[in-house]
Structure 1
């Protein structure tokens, strides 16, 4: 089977969940498959897939930008047009060819990751460009993959006419406890861990800080470790107002092995998000052997199940109580860690790829 993957996502992010998703899908295709990936050449190292039959075509942008942009779209149109493909599976809702997804001559599979651009439009993208590109892609595709039942539910609320096209395939984690025994540093005091983006309000990082300040007022020995971009001015101001400066340890970029160790050595991992299409970090945390404290909203309960502690994300007092009760309760932590290990085993990239191949075969 010959599959074209338009690599728009590699122009939008150098790392991230979608990037990892396609790296795993393409890398685990059977050797009898012939994948082709188009992408923008990037100076930074990207998580490109590896496959014995993979052909990668990269376009290197140049100055003047206007001329480069004109040539770019025709370069990708030429590459897409000179070969025949059995399936097109774009990595995002817009294409490097700058043409519509309906223009593909082969059947199209689209993966819908979440409905953030629709549900949080005012904050994420008021202009609605991504939501409109997604709408066109959803209506044009012959098959749609949703990465959780909750994403499927949210999608159908807007587009009930596509229900027969939808399949649900869960994601998986590449990080587990086997990576967690390196020489990387971790805090010496009892700490809770936060990993991931904080840029949007739905991530609820401010709510986590409020809950943590309540817990610190009772137990000043605990810390919060944060992995991600440097704190912005608003975050620094809130941290100072809550008198948390000495209780927070920030890690910028962290390798997979470092993150795995931070997970394993923490009291618990906290995931206070109001909305996620799937939520890989709780899965990583369970696979690395720590307790997961996660909000009871959107897709997150599908991932965590009964192997973690779910809380109402806006109830900061409840989360503070959980933090305080867990820090000295090693027996409860051990019980949840054991359940988390078993839960994490239910998700695998091999299973994701197998289900994706079923979708490909259904429309090829």
Structure 2
């Protein structure tokens, strides 16, 4: 079976969750599969590895006028698709390097849908709605769709008129576990809760700050450790207004080993998001021996099951009470850690790949 992975995502996301998904998927394909990847980004990017992987790389160069280089790029990728016999195409995102509409593709399309964030939170993310329209066209043209959670599938079917048997659920998995967590990397010296990931509006980081201010008024020795991009001016201002400047440590972008240690040494991961297609940080935290305090909405309960304290993310009081409860009940924290570690074992990339192969084989 020959599978074409259109590498459009690498032009916009040199590293990140989608890259890791395809790296884990392609690298675990059996040796009777022949994957091919199209890309126009430098080879230093986190690309998949497979003994049969064939990479079609277009070197972007500064031709003037620019449209000539862009035209040549499209023709190159169109030629790859035209003169190779692939069984299916699995795009890495909702657009194609050949700059062609999905419905005009000559191969069956298997499309992974990550979430419905653009549809449900579109205006603050993509004001013109261009991403939503590209995604809509891709979804309607695909012969098979993979969703990464039951919640994403339900949202998809509610927003689009699709037959349910066209959609398959394949959960994600964690790439890190507790075995990576015993290095020499630094962690906060005071007891700390951990926040990992982006902080866009739906991530509800402001809600976490409001709740954490209530926690520090009761437990002044507690710290919030934040892993992710530098704070914006608005965040720095809010932190100061809530008198949290002395209670927050920022660790920037952490390596996998550093992140694993930060998880294990924390009181708990706090995950206040209003919406997630899956939610990798809670699974990573459980894999690394940390307790989890997480929102009770979207896909998050699917991931954590009964191994987390769930709270209403729209209530800062509910979140504050959950954090204080965990501080006051260390035995409950130990119980959650044990449950979480066991639950994390039910997610694996091998399982994800096996389920994906079942989708592929319907077109072989």
TM-score interval, smaller chain: over 0.9
In structure 2, distance between residues paired with 1:97 and 1:331:
56
For residues 172-227 of structure 1, give each alpha carbon's deviation from its aligned partner in whole angstroms, at most 9, with x where no partner exists.
110110110111000111000000001x2110000000000010011110000000
In structure 2, distance between residues paired with 1:161 and 1:80:
27
In structure 1, distance between residues paired with 2:10 and 2:155:
26
For residues 150-190 of structure 1, give each alpha carbon's deviation from its aligned partner in whole angstroms, at most 9, with x where no partner exists.
10111111213332211111111101101101110001110
In structure 2, distance between residues paired with 1:271 and 1:42:
34
**2:75: which partner in 1?**
74
**1:267: which partner in 2?**
267
**1:192: which partner in 2?**
193
Name the SS of the counterpart of 2:91 in structure 1.
coil
In structure 2, distance between residues paired with 1:168 and 1:336:
26
**1:151: which partner in 2?**
152
For residues 298-334 of structure 1, give each alpha carbon's deviation from its aligned partner in whole angstroms, at most 9, with x where no partner exists.
0000001100111000111111122122124321111
> CA shift at 1:15, angstroms?
1.6
In structure 2, distance between residues paired with 1:4 and 1:172:
23
Aligned positions of 1:167-316 closer than 5 A: 167-198=168-199, 200-316=200-316
In structure 1, distance between residues paired with 2:41 and 2:322:
46
In structure 2, distance between residues paired with 1:61 and 1:236:
39
**2:55: which partner in 1?**
56
Query: What's the TM-score once normalised by structure 2's chain length?
Result: 0.97
Structure 1, gaps ≥5 residues long: none
**1:136: which partner in 2?**
137
> CA shift at 1:126, angstroms?
2.2
**1:99: which partner in 2?**
100
Aligned positions of 1:9-20 closer than 5 A: 9-20=9-20
RMSD: 1.1
Structure 2, gaps ≥5 residues long: none
> CA shift at 1:39, angstroms?
1.1
Name the SS of the counterpart of 2:362 in structure 1.
helix
| Pairs aligned (count) | 362
Name the SS of the counterpart of 1:161 in structure 2.
coil
> CA shift at 1:42, angstroms?
3.2
Name the SS of the counterpart of 2:193 in structure 1.
strand
Query: What's the TM-score once normalised by structure 1's chain length?
Result: 0.97
Question: Which range is displaced more, 323-332 or 114-123?
Answer: 323-332
